[in-house]
């Protein structure tokens, strides 16, 4: 049985949680179920480890992150196989998360350095700006990209000189716990602690008075609770929350050329990604053609569990989310015309076919809310000013994209979207060197790039009066 990493030791608990394979609903593993005592131990270990880690060199911290990335590379096949078990996703997607995203972000932050800045230097004084680590960071992770999101928090937190306690999502703890076992001796005891547990463990962790900062990725509803929990001790908070990204196809776009990419960016990971296309706005002159193209790609896709080598799309990751997606499916059927998918397959597993719904508009739940599953609404528009206003009317503002045969003109339109990331002729193009900001109720406190390091630090100015000239 995999164990938790606390204070450099592998720790079990009396209580355990089942890990379910969503492609057949079988129990694939049992993992520890952390309670308040284990959370307290992990925070205490991180607090003890902090002074030495803070005072270590940036080079030493970078070397540790690079070593973690090498551990992932050396054990990539095992980690990908575990990720398939707990998510049901196809092999290529599991390998992408492990080998590209998790490793890529660790290596990026391994090489990043924060240097003090000289703000003023004259005959009388020198003023410097420093960025200091905060202390113990609590990282709360969702289930849709569990290993990537854990590493995307561990990497900047450690690079900046903090210690971290990671709380994995209740339905996807397996691969991240195994990663914790593998890196046990790569970082000093207490610098990285990895827990499995339910929402209560998360709530206890984020409220802990010895936690200086909370970094959270998950739903907007939980984000609100975390802000409340952070307030008594004024913890720093980074929130990466929900999204309802609009993609807007301009009248000059080439439908056949862009349809494969739009399809891929709408159904990536069976729709379970925060910043993928969730509302596809198509100009009325291209509407029927685009609907037909996307429906054809969706209908021609192979939906199966990740152990099937032909699988292209996997199931919804857990039962609670599956039930939510079925509600959205019922809503889509009631409000629009289903042109692909829509009917559930026989047999076990949380499979929802890739579903495309047309003739829907704002006011329909499938347009106004994020299903976080494989259902794409396609919405007609006739005027560019109007569609920008409609795209911006959402309380979410994570990502957005403009599709056109003229990328430079499209870029000007893209800048009118209010989302943190805007793309032209692509969507959700993540890169560790590029900040991934969120706006409005999609969150705040950026991740990615050098800007993603700053929220793990506190500013300090140093003002030195020079001795008066003789
Ligand atoms: P969730 O909010 O239900 O759970 C996320 C994590 O929070 C889990 O580990 C859970 O145990 C923990 N948690 C729950 N209640 C808590 C509390 N009161 N205090 C502390 N921790 C608590 O989200 P989810 O269903 O796992 O993830 C899906 C959501 O995440 C979607 O809305 C999606 O858009 C969002 N998401 C956002 C990003 C991003 O970068 N913006 C990335 C991935 C997912």
Rounded to whole angstroms, the Cα distance separating 367 from 360 reads 7
Supply 468's token pair: 């008066």
Strand order in the sheet with 163-167: 9-11, 4-6, 192-195, 163-167, 136-140, 213-217, 236-240, 443-444
Strand order in the sheet with 117-121: 117-121, 125-133, 457-465
Residue 382 CA to ligand 1 center (angstroms) comes to 36
Say if strands 136-140 and 213-217 run parallel, antiparallel, or are unpaired.
parallel
Q: Which residue has the tokens 């680590």?
A: 133
CA distances 288 to 126, 245, 284, Å, are 65, 21, 8
Neighbours of 389 (CB within 10 A): 11
Per residue of the chain (470 residues), give pLDDT as tens. 999 999 999 999 999 999 999 999 999 999 999 999 999 999 999 999 999 999 999 999 999 999 999 999 999 999 999 999 999 999 999 999 999 999 999 999 999 999 999 999 999 999 999 999 999 999 999 999 999 999 999 999 999 999 999 999 999 999 999 999 999 999 999 999 999 999 999 999 999 999 999 999 999 999 999 999 999 999 999 999 999 999 999 999 999 999 999 999 999 999 999 999 999 999 999 999 999 999 999 999 999 999 999 999 999 999 999 999 999 999 999 999 999 999 999 999 999 999 999 999 999 999 999 999 999 999 999 999 999 999 999 999 999 999 999 999 999 999 999 999 999 999 999 999 999 999 999 999 999 999 999 999 999 999 999 986 55
pLDDT of 467 reads 81
Residues framing ligand 1 (Cβ under 6 A): 140-144, 167, 169-170, 199, 202-203, 206, 217-219, 222, 225-226, 240-243, 274, 370, 372, 398, 438, 443
217 touches 149 (CB < 8 A)? yes
Q: Which atom of ligand 1 is nearest to the CA of 143?
A: 26
Region of residue 161 (left: phi > 0; alpha: psi -120 to 50; beta: else): left
Neighbours of 189 (CB within 10 A): 16
| Residue in 86, 240, 293, 370 annotated catalytic | 240
- Residue 160 phi/psi, 5-degree rounding, is -80, -10
Question: Dihedral of the CA atoms 48, 52, 53, 56 (nearest 10)?
Answer: 180
166 touches 176 (CB < 8 A)? yes
Helix, strand, coil percent content, the chain, rounded in steps of 5: 40, 25, 35
CA distances 399 to 158, 217, 252, 254, 260, Å, are 27, 15, 22, 22, 19
DSSP label at 10?
Answer: E
DSSP label at 426?
Answer: -
Is the pTM here over 0.95, yes or no?
Answer: yes
Q: Which atom of ligand 1 is nearest to the CA of 203?
A: 19
**Mutation choice for ligand 1 from 222, 223, 275, CB with most ligand atoms inside 8 A:** 222
Question: H-type helices in 235-369, by residue range?
Answer: 255-267, 287-299, 319-335, 365-368
Say if strands 375-381 and 355-358 run parallel, antiparallel, or are unpaired.
parallel
Residue 217 CA to ligand 1 center (angstroms) comes to 5
pLDDT of 53 reads 98
Question: H-type helices in 282-348, by residue range?
Answer: 287-299, 319-335
Residue 241 CA to ligand 1 center (angstroms) comes to 7
Q: Which residue has the tokens 């306690």?
A: 165
Rounded to whole angstroms, the Cα distance separating 10 from 4 reads 5
Radius of gyration of the chain (CA): 23
CA distances 68 to 64, 187, 192, Å, are 6, 8, 11
110 touches 62 (CB < 8 A)? yes
- Residue 81 phi/psi, 5-degree rounding, is -65, -40
Tell me the CB-side half-sphere exposure of residue 202, using CA atoms within 13 A.
Answer: 21
| CATH match of 245-424 with 3.40.50.2300 | no
DSSP label at 303?
Answer: B
Which has the closest alpha carbon to 417: 387, 441, 437, 445? 387
Query: Which one of 3.40.50.1370, 3.40.630.30, 3.40.605.10, 3.40.50.10490 gives the CATH number of domain 4-241+442-461?
Result: 3.40.605.10
105 touches 432 (CB < 8 A)? yes
**Mutation choice for ligand 1 from 138, 152, 206, 219, CB with most ligand atoms inside 8 A:** 219
Q: In the beta sheet, which residues pair with residue 357? A: 338, 377
Cα separation of the two ends of the chain: 72
Is there a catalytic annotation at residue 240? yes
Which has the closest alpha carbon to 88: 352, 356, 428? 352
Which has the closest alpha carbon to 245: 445, 421, 408, 425? 421
Question: What is the domain partition of the chain in residue ranges?
Answer: 4-241+442-461, 245-424
pLDDT of 468 reads 60
Q: Residue 87, exposed/middle/buried by CB under 10 A (0-12, 13-18, 19+)?
A: buried
Sign of CA pseudo-dihedral 194, 197, 198, 204: negative
């Amino acid at each position: 049985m995999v164990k938790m990493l606390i204070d450099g030791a592998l720790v079990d608990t009396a209580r355990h949680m089942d890990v379910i394979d969503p492609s057949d609903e079988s129990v694939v593993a049992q993992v520890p179920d952390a309670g308040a005592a284990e959370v307290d131990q992990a925070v205490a270990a991180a607090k003890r480890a902090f002074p030495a880690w803070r005072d270590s060199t940036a080079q030493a911290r970078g070397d540790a992150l690079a070593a973690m990335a090498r551990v992932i590379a050396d054990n990539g096949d095992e980690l990908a196989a575990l990720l398939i078990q707990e998510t049901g996703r196809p092999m290529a997607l599991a390998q992408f998360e492990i080998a590209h995203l998790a490793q890529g972000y660790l290596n990026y932050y391994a090489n990043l350095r924060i240097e003090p800045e000289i703000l003023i230097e004259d005959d009388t004084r020198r003023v410097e700006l420093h960025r200091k680590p905060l202390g113990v960071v609590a990282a709360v992770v969702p289930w849709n990209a569990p290993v990537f999101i854990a590493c995307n928090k561990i990497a900047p937190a450690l690079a900046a000189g903090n210690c971290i306690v990671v709380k994995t999502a209740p339905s996807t703890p397996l691969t991240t716990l195994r990663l914790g076992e593998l890196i046990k001796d790569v970082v000093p005891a207490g610098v990285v602690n990895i827990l499995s547990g339910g929402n209560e463990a998360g709530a206890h962790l984020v409220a802990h008075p010895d936690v200086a900062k909370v970094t959270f990725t998950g739903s907007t509803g939980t984000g609100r609770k975390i802000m409340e929990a952070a307030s008594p001790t004024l913890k720093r908070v980074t929130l990466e929350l929900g999204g309802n990204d609009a993609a807007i196809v301009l009248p000059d776009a080439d439908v056949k050329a862009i349809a494969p990419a739009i399809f891929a960016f709408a159904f990536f990971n069976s729709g379970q990604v925060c910043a993928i296309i969730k509302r596809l706005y198509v100009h009325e002159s291209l509407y029927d053609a685009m609907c037909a193209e996307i429906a054809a790609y969706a209908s021609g896709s192979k939906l199966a569990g990740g152990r099937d080598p032909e699988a292209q799309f996997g199931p919804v990751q857990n039962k609670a989310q599956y039930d939510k997606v079925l509600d959205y499916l019922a809503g889509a059927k009631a409000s629009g015309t289903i042109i692909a998918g829509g009917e559930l397959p026989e047999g076990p597993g949380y499979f929802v076919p890739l579903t495309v719904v047309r003739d829907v508009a704002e006011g329909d739940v499938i347009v106004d809310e994020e299903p976080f599953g494989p259902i794409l609404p396609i919405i007609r528009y006739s005027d560019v000013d109007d569609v920008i206003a409609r795209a911006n009317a959402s309380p979410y503002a994570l990502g957005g994209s403009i599709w056109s045969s003229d990328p430079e003109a499209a870029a000007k339109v893209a800048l009118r979207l209010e989302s943190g990331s805007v793309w032209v002729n692509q969507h959700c193009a993540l890169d560790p060197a590029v900040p991934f900001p969120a706006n409005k109720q999609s969150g705040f406190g950026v991740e990615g790039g050098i800007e993603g390091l700053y929220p793990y630090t506190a500013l300090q100015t140093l003002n030195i009066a020079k001795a008066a000239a003789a």
